[in-house]
Amino acid sequence: MINGSAARLCSEGDTVIIAASTILAKPEEIRDLKPKVVTFGPHNQIDEVLTYDVFKDSTRDFNFRILDNDGESYQGRDVVAHIHDVRKSRGRG
């Protein structure tokens, strides 16, 4: 059920994105946050629970990956490295 102003704009069957935000005192604090992204199937059953993870590694201070329920990197790829590789292959790296 959606209440408030959103209820006037949504109809049954619409895709709804619910988000939250926070303010950080220091950029490094983002590494401590592990937000969850939950996707649902057509009858509102949980389809996936993903974790967004920002971490420091030997190549950059802020790297990013999406982890599945088992803590494995989503699709076996480091998302930032993948984007970098794609941009580089297109001459924009």
Model-level pTM? 0.62
Encode pLDDT of 6-42 as tens digits: 777 888 778 788 888 899 999 999 999 999 988 887 7
38 - beta bridge partners?
49
Encode pLDDT of 37-84 as tens digits: 888 877 888 877 889 999 999 989 999 888 877 777 765 566 667 667
Query: Within the chain, where are the H helices?
Result: 5-9, 79-89
CA atoms within 13 A on the CB side of 86: 7
The answer to whether 70 and 77 are in contact (CB under 8 A) is: no
